[in-house]
Amino acid sequence: MAKLAFLGLGVMGYPMAGHLQAAGHDVCVFNRTAAKAEKWAAEHGGRFAATPREAAEGAEFVMACVGNDDDLRSVCLGADGAFAGMGKGAVFVDHTTVSAKVTREMYEAAKADGLGFVDAPVSGGQAGAENGQLSIMCGGDEAQYAAAEPVITTYAKLCRRLGESGAGQMTKMANQIAIAGLVQGLSEALHFAEKAGLDGRAVVEVISQGAAGSWQMSNRYQTMLDDHWTHGFAVDWMRKDLGICLDTADEVGASLPVTALVDQFYKDVQKMGGGRWDTSSLLARLRKLG
């Protein structure tokens, strides 16, 4: 078993770190709100630290799941950052959804310090993290990925290296692009069914068994029909991710007209007070429009 650190105990990181401790690893956690780190340690029997550096000292692998580019920089760099506490040859595994630009920046900084860096964003939401059934897409040096993979698979149903540094983040962008259009399509279908006087549940029972079926339909249609949004992946986070997608699309020359449109629809949801609502709340926007 390995000596590990886990930085960031949000809705994803908290259970992910728990799976590592339950698997027999020696885990030390850090969270910006110290009370949550103390709670985790009391619940799971691991340790907690006051800074990323302290958590990372002596760790073979340091996992992180924080908020955005700036959060990642703050836990990696500086006198109290994880890189300062990691020993030569240790590997940093970043599960945050961030830009490929900051990923490559941290990869180079880690390399200069004799450290490994693997970008490993996740898909599967809170339920996937809690059940240890995340899909994890990775980028980075092959040898460092191979070393980290057995630890990462503790909370994954699928873990795969897609290429060099940044490839994991690029793949996560493709994931979010696909989801954005899909959720809008599902919302429009349910909205149409309501306006046409159809039984939404009966409609889904039929169309979910054909080409229209999807994870979103199977797992979200009931809460959508019930106008229930206080769960799942928040609109605020989806807009952060789509912003990364759109910025990167400009850099690589990709055209994302549907993604850009859905991003604006999510902006409307935020104006409705739904920043913390689940991404399936695109239906709430359509209902408001009438």
Give the residue numbers marked as catalytic.
172
Alpha helices by DSSP H, listed for 132-197, are 142-152, 167-195
Q: Quickly count: other Cβ atoms within 10 Å of residue 47's Cβ.
A: 16
Q: Terminal CA-to-CA distance of the chain, rounded, Å? A: 57
Please name which of 194, 207, 200 lies closest in space to residue 221, comparing C-alpha atoms.
Answer: 200
Residue 20 in tokens: 């590592």
Residues in contact with 61: Cβ distance below 8 Å, sequence separation at least 6, in sequence order: 2, 4, 5, 90, 91, 92, 93, 147, 148, 151
CA distance 198 to 235: 28
Residues in contact with 273: Cβ distance below 8 Å, sequence separation at least 6, in sequence order: none
Question: What DSSP designation does 246 have?
Answer: H
Residue 128 in tokens: 């996937």
What H or E segment, with its residue span, contains residue 133?
Answer: none
